[in-house]
Structure 1
Amino acid sequence: MERYKCPVCGHIYDPAEGDPKSGIAPGIAFEDLPEDWKCPVCRTKKAKFQPELSAAV
């Protein structure tokens, strides 16, 4: 599952960790988060998040 990054504060949503502060259990893909989910750090809307680019090896 892909990780997503907040463009405002840099918070990473990692599906392996979920978002305990918002009641999101580990294993929930970013696409499956509720549409009204917001960044737990700065409250930016889900729609603003971008896929985290992995470094080329």
Structure 2
Amino acid sequence: MADPKNMFQCQVSNCGYIYDPDKGEPKTNTPAGTAFEDLPDDWKCPHCGSSKFTFRPLAGPGSVMEEGI
């Protein structure tokens, strides 16, 4: 499992999918080891279909925890 700073969570309500770069994502043909930043801009959440831009890191700068949301 990747460091939480490298994992990103979909922020669409009722989704919450977490992208783990150590696992990749078979549903989108994303190989293990692919950093979230390296996903193409048109990559979609495999659970709800929302854009990559609806994701936030689990920890660190820009995360929900960091911003106290």
Structure 2 spans left out of the alignment, 5+ residues: none
Distance 1:19 1:33 in 2: 11
- In our comparison, the structure showing a higher alpha carbon Rg is 2
RMSD over aligned CA atoms reads 1.7
Task: Quote the sequence identity (%).
Answer: 49
Partner secondary structure for residue 32 of structure 2: coil
TM-score normalised by structure 2 residue count: 0.73
Q: 1:38-49 residue pairs with structure 2 within 5 A?
A: 38-49=44-55
Question: Could you say which structure has the greater relative contact order, defined with CA pairs below 8 angstroms and 6 or more residues apart?
Answer: 1
Q: Tell me which amino acid in the other structure corresponds to 2:36.
A: F
Distance 1:53 1:42 in 2: 22
Query: Any runs of at least 4 consecutive aligned residues in structure 1 with deviations exceeding 2 A, and if so which?
Result: none
Distance 2:53 2:41 in 1: 8
Quote the offset at 1:53 in angstroms.
2.6
> What does residue 10 of structure 1 align with?
16
